[in-house]
Amino acid sequence: MSLFDHLVIFPILVPFFVAVALLFPSLSNSLLRQRAMTIIGNVLMVIIAFVLLFKVKQQGIQVYALGDWSAPFGIVLVADAFSVLLICLSAILGLAVTLYASAGEDKNGAFFHPLIMFQLMGINGAFLTGDAFNLFVFFEVLLIASYSLMIHGGGKQRVQVNIHYVFLNLIGSSLFLFALGTLYGTLGTLNFADMADRIPQLSSNELLITKSGALLLLAVFGLKAAMLPLHFWLPKAYASTSAPVAALFAIMTKVGIYSIWRVHGVLFGDQAGELANIALPWLWPIALLTIAIGAISVLASQSLRVLCSNLVIVSVGTLLVTISLNTVQATTAGIYYLLHSTLVCAAMFLLAGVIQQQRGKAEDRFVTARTMPQAGILGVTFVLLAIGLIGMPPLSGFIGKALILQSVTNASQAMWIWPLILGAGLIALIALSRAGTTLFWRTNGENTTVLKGHPMQYLAIALLVITLPLMVIFGGAVSDFSQLAAEQLKAGLSLQQLNEVAK
Amino acid sequence: MELVYAICVGFISACGIFLMLRGHTFTLVIGLTLLSYAVNLFLFASGGLTIGAPAVLNGSENYADPLPQALVLTAIVIGFAMTAFAVILAMRGRSDMGNDHVDGTEPFDRLAAEKKS
């Protein structure tokens, strides 16, 4: 086997080895060397992710059996179009976050760079894994890194918010294990492909137990994805942590969404026999309510970071709508919107960090303050990102929302979805224009004491902002690939197919 | 055997959940530990309960399912690390905020206030 055959496991191994290397004294003693190493590692990750993307596009689904143990007994990694797309997303986000943090944010506490790499390892692992127990393991890897990252820099408020975040997620992990035990008890396997084969063949007395296990999993993933009513932790957590960490966390809710798609959209999807689409009756009202509550919270936000966190909740609701529509077209739209919303929210969090730094004591709260030294460039970026967040042309938010609205074919569903999504867009428009006016125009006097933005910070924001027009220019390619991802996801993968691909 | 086992797991989880519903980090940590014990026992039982059977398939008709044992091992390690983190975080919260309530401030207790006055 050549090295190229092992490509599937690289998105997990590269961050892991970089993180371990960063802990050795020769690297951990010098912040400069740490920064260089992390940035090189992340550039490498972007390259690997895109090579993997092209490989999947040309050769179809890639399966990697660890230690060459075949599927139901050994551990497998499955790289289909959906997971490689998300790996590309996490690689780009990881690069932007490390560039931003290298401007000085990483000085506020120890081990920032290794933790970022461990977090990326967990995220990539969760996207690639082919069985439910390893999904749990990678969830724990990314969570324990996120616990420490969230508290990075310290401070009373971060500690207090972190207590909520950590304990909620620990309870979530216990529930995850209960759900896995329940499913293993009836199905006798935790491999996704094998589970998909066995779910339709369950006997009638096992149905109820399996159903309770599956719905328990929905609650666990819902907690990670911040769907109603499990979203209360998110605004405070994202708003009080440091900017690069908040930007990286923009993809964390999407890990929950991805898992819901994988488990409740496919395993318990159309082909699940008696248990087909058991989560849909729950998801449908929850999705709509998540959008509504998120939009109301957007209007009530008092600072830019809280506003942005609430926009994350709105985007989670929108994605849940596309899951509950349960068609290939809606899934395609959802995948496109997922890419867009992660990038644009992350960019807004980074921008909020620079704005906070340049406004001194006023931070990013919507109050009158002195002018920012670099208000011009920050203002232009703010307008671009606001256009993306609202979903106005010409940026990718418009295409994402248009695809979602177009995928609603049923009139009774359209009656609910169209007004809610368009209304949420209008509310975002009002809230963001009010925010922009206060931050940039309601000023008194010059401010000369605060630091100007570091070029690395602008480079990181530019990297994310540039992806928005690129997703429009290459919109055809991106939506074609999203469609491939949606088709592969909806078709599912049986154990036999999995083992054939593995050979 | 199954009934006794199920009652034990249920009782431990109930105790854990009761303790977790308190508002203080100390009881929360204890509750979480109990719940993770319950989870480990639950996972262990998910492969079916057998007595005196080997864990590896060495040709014998009667064998214990080895997979839940592997799962429990992983779950114990992860649970232990997470509990250690939670304890350190709780201590940090106690020293930073001066009390061990999860919200950082003790809620106003009307009954206690009336008793005092």
Residues 239 to 278 of A: which have CB under 8 A from any B CB? none
CB-nearest to B102 from A144, A163, A185 is A163
The string of pLDDT tens digits covering residues A480-500 is 999 999 999 888 888 888 888
Parse chain A into domains and list their residue ranges: 279-492
Bridge partners (DSSP) of residue A129 are: A77
Segment holding A211, helix H or strand E: helix A204-225
Give how far B15 is from chain A: nearest CA, Å.
Answer: 14
CB contact under 8 A, A159 and B85: no
Q: Say what the pLDDT of residue A1 is.
A: 59
Residues 6+ apart with CB under 8 A from B3: none
CB contact under 8 A, B78 and A170: no
Q: What is the ipTM of this complex?
A: 0.91
pLDDT over 70 at B88, yes or no: yes
Please list every residue in chain B whose beta carbon sits closer than 8 Å to the beta carbon of residue A174: 32, 35-36, 39
As a three-state string, the secondary structure of A335-394 is HHHHHHHHHHHHHHHHHHHHHHHHCHHHCCECCCECCCCCHHHHHHHHHHHHHHHHCCCC
> Cβ(A481)–Cβ(A85) under 8 Å?
yes
Give how far A191 is from chain B: nearest CA, Å.
Answer: 12
> CA B65, A197, A211: angle at the middle one, nearest 5?
75
10 Å CB burial of residue B92 (0-12, 13-18, 19+) is middle
10 Å CB burial of residue A353 (0-12, 13-18, 19+) is buried
Beta pairing, strands A62-65 & A76-79: antiparallel
> Cβ(A427)–Cβ(A298) under 8 Å?
yes
CB contact under 8 A, B36 and A162: no
Bridge partners (DSSP) of residue A79 are: A62
Distance CA A28, CA A24 (A): 6
> Cβ(A211)–Cβ(B72) under 8 Å?
no
Q: Angle, to 10 degrees, between the axis of helix A252-260 and the axis of helix A132-150?
A: 160
Q: Say what the pLDDT of residue A458 is.
A: 92
Per the prediction, chain A carries an average pLDDT of 90
Q: Which position has the token pair 């963001």?
A: A432
Length of chain B counted residue by residue: 117
CB-nearest to B81 from A133, A144, A180 is A144
At A36, the pLDDT band (50, 70, 90 cuts) reads very high
List the single residue in B with minimal CA-CA distance to A74: B67
CB contact under 8 A, B104 and A160: yes
Distance CA B94, CA A41 (A): 38
A144 at B interface, C-beta within 8 A: yes
Q: Say what the pLDDT of residue B58 is.
A: 65
Give how far A312 is from chain B: nearest CA, Å.
Answer: 24
Q: Which amino acid is at A43?
A: V
Mean pLDDT, range A174-182, rounded to an integer: 93
> CA A231, A236, A238: angle at the middle one, nearest 5?
90
Per the structure block, which two tokens stand in for A446?
A: 């010059």
The string of pLDDT tens digits covering residues A248-290 is 999 999 999 999 999 998 888 888 788 888 888 899 999 999 9
CB contact under 8 A, B89 and A133: no
Coil, strand or helix at A2:
coil
Residues 6+ apart with CB under 8 A from A354: A243, A378, A453, A457, A458, A461
Parse chain B into domains and list their residue ranges: 2-52+64-105
Mutate to test the interface with B, among A146, A164, A170, A195 (most CBs of B within 10 A): A170
Distance CA A237, CA A151 (A): 10
CB contact under 8 A, A167 and B39: no
Q: What is the phi-psi region of residue A102: left when phi exceeds 0, alpha when psi lies from -120 to 50, beta otherwise?
A: alpha
CB contact under 8 A, B82 and A164: no
CB contact under 8 A, A174 and B35: yes
Task: Give the number of other CB atoms < 10 A from CB of residue A144.
Answer: 20
Residue A228 Cα to chain centre, angstroms: 17
Mutate to test the interface with A, among B20, B32, B89, B106 (most CBs of A within 10 A): B89
Q: Say what the pLDDT of residue B117 is.
A: 74
Please list every residue in chain A whose beta carbon sits closer than 8 Å to the beta carbon of residue B71: 133, 180-181, 184
Coil, strand or helix at A301:
coil
A184 at B interface, C-beta within 8 A: yes
Dihedral in degrees, nearest 10, Cα atoms A297, A303, A308, A310: -20
The string of pLDDT tens digits covering residues A181-225 is 999 999 888 899 888 888 888 888 888 999 999 999 999 999 999
As a three-state string, the secondary structure of A53-114 is HHHHHHHCCEEEEHHHCCCCCCCEEEECHHHHHHHHHHHHHHHHHHHHHCCCHHHHCCCHHH
Give how far A337 is from chain B: nearest CA, Å.
Answer: 34
A181 at B interface, C-beta within 8 A: yes
At A374, the pLDDT band (50, 70, 90 cuts) reads confident
CB contact under 8 A, A160 and B81: no
List the single residue in B with minimal CA-CA distance to A147: B85
CB-nearest to B46 from A167, A173, A181 is A181
Please list every residue in chain B whose beta carbon sits closer than 8 Å to the beta carbon of residue A140: 78, 82
* CATH fold for the domain made of B2-52+64-105: Helix Hairpins (1.10.287)
The string of pLDDT tens digits covering residues A424-459 is 999 999 999 999 999 888 888 776 666 778 889 999
pLDDT over 80 at A319, yes or no: yes
Q: Which chain B residues touch A if contact means CB-CB below 8 Å?
A: 20, 25, 28, 32, 35-36, 39, 42-43, 45-47, 67-68, 71, 74-75, 78, 81-82, 85-86, 89-90, 92-93, 96-97, 102-104
